[in-house]
Structure 1
Amino acid sequence: MLIASAAILIGFIVLVWSADLFVAGAASMAENMGMSPILIGLTIVSLGTSAPEVLVAITAAMSDVGELAIGNAIGSNIANVGLVLGLTALIAPLPVHRARLRRELPTLMAITIACGLLLLDGKLDLLDGLLMLGALAFILFEMINSQSHDPDANEEAGVEDLPHMQPVRAWVSFIIGLVLLIASSKLLVWGASKVAIELGVSQLVIGLTIVAIGTSLPELAATMASALKGHGEIALGNVVGSNIFNLLGVMSLPGMFAVEYLEPMVLIRDYASMTGITLLLAAVLYLSLLRPKCRNEGGNIHVGRSIGALLLAAYALYYYFLYLTA
């Protein structure tokens, strides 16, 4: 148990560090080859920050513990809304552009409902995985096509602090980051599997808790740092984008390797809770549009401390429900 717990801790630390190294190297390589900053931000940086979840999902699927990957995707989405947005909003109110409420948030709600319908038969298979990945490719194409013509896109895509490395250093960072990502994901999945066996709980529960929180910590740190620096306007966009990718790019992966049969509680408890906290976020944001004191002169709104406390309470309530039923 002690060795497995140490493996999880070391795996998380190396996973996060190697993901940063991998993204920095890949982004610098793309820049050195003449790729524009907006495309780097919307593709390499955005997808690279989800590298931990992707590598964990692939490793779990290949290790025949696909339910851990599914739990990671669902649990990370719950943590992103309840923990990341909730805790950050308590520290500093987060401004929300109306464009988020017109485009990204409705897209996330539609994807959440659509993926839930795919899973109603109690399994995740190759067809489900291909449909999810196809939807992800379409969304990425539309996002790049629309935001590449937006004058404020570079700021919204988070590309103001792109790394700049010489070609040799970029390649070294990319290769070392990739190797460490693979190794640390294997170590993390091994440790999580051992802990699940020792505690007598399912891989799904470990994915929903330990792995989900661990892979959400980078988003929490980045979002809080952005808010404290006065760039809180990108927080909701980062969370929505990450949740879309978790559903379509991470949860789909186990079905690409083998048919994954879901426990009944996945839909009744976990997916329903994820859908509920997503709809809760949407409801409070849309209702804020009706309150003049929540809007600024440009018609934009903000996620205040009361909303942050509500999201954190919903997050805590889910974990209490999980504790009662796991």
Structure 2
Amino acid sequence: MLPALLTSVIALMVLSWSSDRFVTGAAGLSLKLGLSPALVGLTLVAFGTSAPEILVSATAALSDSSALAVANALGSNIANMGLVLALTLLWRPVPCPQDSRHQVLSVCLLVTALAGVVLIDGRLTRVDGVLLLAGLTVLAVATWKRKALMEAPPRDNPEGGRGRDLLLFLGGLVLLLISARALVWGATEVARQLGVGEALIGLTLVALGTSLPELATCLAATRRGHGELALGNVLGSNILNLLMVLPMPALLGPGRLADPALLDRDYTAVVLLTLVMALGMMLAVRRPLGRGTGLALLAGYGVYLMVLWRGLQATSGV
């Protein structure tokens, strides 16, 4: 147990340090490139923190575990809103720029609806995968064409040049992903040796572990005064999870969804939490997105975990 415990402690320290470097590099790049932190959060940061989900879904689909790949995409969105954004807002309110409130939120709602259209028949086909990737392509082109609306005037960064910021961004990202994986392994091993069931580990420690990059990034961003980057990270990660992670099982392992609960329970949770987040953002007209929205999202996540736990008990016959 001692090696696993030491691994968890060291990984937690590296996670905190690397997330701070990652945000510093991202913020510095936004200044050098003349882009707003919100746009950087929606693109570079969101893609970086969504990389584990993309790899896990591709691996699961190639291993004939498409249900796990779909659950990964939906579960990541649930954790991003109900845990990552909720805890970030409870710690410190986040500014909600007008562009995030209108254009980006609209895209998030449309993409969530598109995922529902793809999943509604209980099957994932290659046509569905192509449709989702086509949506990603359209979004990328539209973002590039409209990026002038989200640009910030270039400013000099006294802390170093673009090369240093890029090194901090990439180096911080690599350490962030490695330390998050190490922390999940260490915590899981400790729990197993203490006699905690694997199902409960999966619903708690592993679920938290896959959200650690987003959580660490958001907390570091708000601590350094880049709240727009944190909000952009959550919104961008949610969009990428549906347009880039969900196509993996559709293209690599098409077929019928093995578990109907993926649509009835998990997708429904994604929709409800997205609506709660949308309502909070629409109400944040002249003030930051605050703790009220954070409490509502966290309460929704708690209800979701209770539903999961009851389903686990029913399945195990307890």
TM-score by length of 1: 0.70
Q: Quote how far apart the aligned CAs of 1:256 are.
A: 1.0
1:238 to 218, 230, 233: 233
Which amino acid in structure 1 is aligned with residue 236 of structure 2?
A: G
Q: Quote how far apart the aligned CAs of 1:285 are.
A: 2.8
The alignment status of 1:96 with 2:92, answered yes or no, reads no
Inter-CA distance 37–129: structure 2 relative to 1 (3 Å threshold): farther
Q: Quote how far apart the aligned CAs of 1:166 are.
A: 11
Inter-CA distance 266–216: structure 2 relative to 1 (3 Å threshold): same
Report if aligned partners of 1:80, 1:243 keep a CA contact under 8 Å in 2.
Answer: yes
| Residues 5-44 of structure 1: pairs in structure 2 closer than 5 A | 38=35, 41=40, 44=44
Equivalents in 2 of 1:166, 1:107: separation in Å? 29
Partner secondary structure for residue 321 of structure 1: helix
Q: Quote how far apart the aligned CAs of 1:55 are.
A: 1.1
Partner secondary structure for residue 78 of structure 1: helix
Q: Which residue of 1 aligns with 2:293?
A: 307
Equivalents in 1 of 2:55, 2:311: separation in Å? 29
Report if aligned partners of 1:128, 1:252 keep a CA contact under 8 Å in 2.
Answer: yes
Equivalents in 2 of 1:162, 1:51: separation in Å? 26
| Residues 265-284 of structure 1: pairs in structure 2 closer than 5 A | 265-284=261-280
Report if aligned partners of 2:66, 2:254 keep a CA contact under 8 Å in 1.
Answer: no
Q: Which residue of 2 aligns with 1:292?
A: none
Task: Deviation per CA, 1:134-167: give whole Å up to 9, x if none.
Answer: 1111101111221146432889xxxx99962699
Report if aligned partners of 1:89, 1:307 keep a CA contact under 8 Å in 2.
Answer: yes
Which amino acid in structure 2 is aligned with residue 254 of structure 1?
A: P
Report if aligned partners of 2:276, 2:296 keep a CA contact under 8 Å in 1.
Answer: no
Equivalents in 2 of 1:118, 1:270: separation in Å? 14
Equivalents in 1 of 2:261, 2:51: separation in Å? 27
2:221 to 220, 226, 232: 226
The alignment status of 1:255 with 2:241, answered yes or no, reads no
Report if aligned partners of 2:35, 2:151 keep a CA contact under 8 Å in 1.
Answer: no
Task: Deviation per CA, 1:162-184: give whole Å up to 9, x if none.
Answer: 962699x99x979xx69x98xx7
Equivalents in 1 of 2:305, 2:160: separation in Å? 35
Report if aligned partners of 2:85, 2:294 keep a CA contact under 8 Å in 1.
Answer: yes
Inter-CA distance 231–166: structure 2 relative to 1 (3 Å threshold): closer
Equivalents in 2 of 1:251, 1:162: separation in Å? 37
Q: Which residue of 1 aligns with 2:50?
A: 50
Q: Quote how far apart the aligned CAs of 1:81 are.
A: 0.9
Q: Which residue of 1 aligns with 2:302?
A: 316
Q: Quote how far apart the aligned CAs of 1:48 are.
A: 2.9
Coordinate RMSD, CA, aligned: 4.3
- Structure 1: 5+ residue stretches without partners: 290-294
Q: Which residue of 2 aligns with 1:122?
A: 122
Task: Deviation per CA, 1:174-198: give whole Å up to 9, x if none.
Answer: 9xx69x98xx79x98xx99xx9xx9
Q: Quote how far apart the aligned CAs of 1:210 are.
A: 4.8
Inter-CA distance 232–43: structure 2 relative to 1 (3 Å threshold): closer
Equivalents in 2 of 1:281, 1:325: separation in Å? 26
Report if aligned partners of 2:35, 2:152 keep a CA contact under 8 Å in 1.
Answer: no
Inter-CA distance 307–150: structure 2 relative to 1 (3 Å threshold): closer
Partner secondary structure for residue 95 of structure 2: strand
Equivalents in 2 of 1:137, 1:320: separation in Å? 37
Q: Which residue of 1 aligns with 2:152?
A: 152
Partner secondary structure for residue 151 of structure 2: coil
Equivalents in 2 of 1:153, 1:260: separation in Å? 48
| More deviation, 102-111/209-218 | 209-218
Q: Quote how far apart the aligned CAs of 1:128 are.
A: 0.8
Report if aligned partners of 2:34, 2:152 keep a CA contact under 8 Å in 1.
Answer: no
- Structure 2: 5+ residue stretches without partners: 313-318
Give aligned pairs, total.
281
| More deviation, 263-272/48-57 | 48-57
Identity %: 37
